[in-house]
Amino acid sequence: MQRGDDLLTSMCLLWVTSPYNVVALNETWELLAHRSARGHCAMAPSVHAYRSWWGWGRSDAAVTAGEREALVSRVHSLLPDADLTFHEAPEPSTLGVVKPAVAPPTPLAKLSSMDVIDRLAHARGKAYRDVVCNLKGDIGRVPDAVVRPASEQDIIDVLDWASSADVAVIPYGGGSSVVGGVEPRFEDHAGVVSLDLERLNRVLEVDRVSRAGLIEAGVYGPHLEEQFKPYALTLRHFPQSFEFSTLGGWLATCSSGHYATLYTHIDDLCESLRVVSPSGVSQSRRLPASGAGPSPDRLFLGSEGALGVITQAWMRLQQRPRWRAHVSAHFADFSAAVQATRIIAQSGLYPSNCRLLDATEAMLNAGVRTGASVLVLGFESADHPVTAWFERGLEIIHAYGGTTPNPPTHSDAADAPGDREAGSAASWRSAFIRMPYQRDALAQHGMIVETFETSTTWDAFDALHAELTATASRVMQSITGFGLLTCRFTHVYPDGPAPYYGVYAPGHWNSLPQQWDDIKRALSDVLNKHRASITHHHAVGRDHRPWYDQQRPDPFAAVLGAAKRTLDPAGILNPGVLIDAM
Predicted confidence at residue 582, as pLDDT, reads 67
List strands edge to edge, sheet with 270-277: 203-207, 212-216, 309-316, 270-277, 280-283
How confident is the model over 179-186, as a mean pLDDT? 95
Distance CA 233, CA 317 (A): 6
Predicted confidence at residue 77, as pLDDT, reads 74
- State the CATH number of the domain containing residue 580: 3.30.465.10
How confident is the model over 303-325, as a mean pLDDT? 96
The verdict on residue 390 lying in a domain is no
**Of the candidates 52, 70, 73, 49, which has an alpha carbon nearest to the alpha carbon of residue 61?**
52
- 232 torsion bin: left (phi>0), alpha (psi -120 to 50), beta (else): left
**Per-residue confidence at 49, pLDDT binned at 50, 70, 90?**
low
How many CB atoms within 10 Å of residue 495?
A: 13
**Per-residue confidence at 50, pLDDT binned at 50, 70, 90?**
confident
Q: Which amino acid does the sequence have at 366?
A: A
Domain that holds residue 314: 140-320+552-582
Tell me how many domains the chain contains: 1
**Of the candidates 168, 126, 130, which has an alpha carbon nearest to the alpha carbon of residue 147?**
168
The verdict on residue 477 lying in a domain is no
Provide the Cα torsion 296, 299, 301, 304; round to 10°. Answer: -140
Model-wide pTM > 0.85: yes
The verdict on residue 448 lying in a domain is no
460-519 residue pLDDT tens:
999 999 999 999 999 999 999 989 999 999 999 999 999 999 999 999 999 999 999 999
Return the HEC string of 313-336: EEEECEECCCEEEEEEEEECCHHH
**Per-residue confidence at 431, pLDDT binned at 50, 70, 90?**
low
The verdict on residue 539 lying in a domain is no
Higher pLDDT, 418 or 75: 75
Higher pLDDT, 7 or 282: 282
CB 389 within 8 A of CB 349: yes
**Of the candidates 487, 365, 354, which has an alpha carbon nearest to the alpha carbon of residue 431?**
365
Distance CA 242, CA 225 (A): 10
Predicted confidence at residue 47, as pLDDT, reads 55
Q: Which amino acid does the sequence have at 407?
A: P
Distance CA 342, CA 358 (A): 15
The verdict on residue 242 lying in a domain is yes
**Per-residue confidence at 74, pLDDT binned at 50, 70, 90?**
confident
254-296 residue pLDDT tens:
999 889 998 889 999 999 999 999 999 999 999 999 999 999 9
**Per-residue confidence at 369, pLDDT binned at 50, 70, 90?**
confident
Higher pLDDT, 240 or 282: 282
Whether 8 has a pLDDT exceeding 60, the answer reads no
Distance CA 194, CA 143 (A): 6
**Per-residue confidence at 417, pLDDT binned at 50, 70, 90?**
very low
**Per-residue confidence at 3, pLDDT binned at 50, 70, 90?**
very low
Which residues lie below 8 Å from residue 174, measured CB to CB, with a gap of 6+?
Answer: 220, 241, 244, 245, 246, 249
The verdict on residue 287 lying in a domain is yes
Predicted confidence at residue 70, as pLDDT, reads 85
Predicted confidence at residue 526, as pLDDT, reads 98
100-143 residue pLDDT tens:
999 999 999 999 999 999 999 999 999 999 999 999 999 999 99
Helix (H, G, I), strand (E, B) or coil at 451: strand
Q: Look over the chain and give the mean of its residue pLDDT values, rounded to a whole number.
A: 89
The verdict on residue 302 lying in a domain is yes
**Of the candidates 135, 90, 142, which has an alpha carbon nearest to the alpha carbon of residue 116?**
142
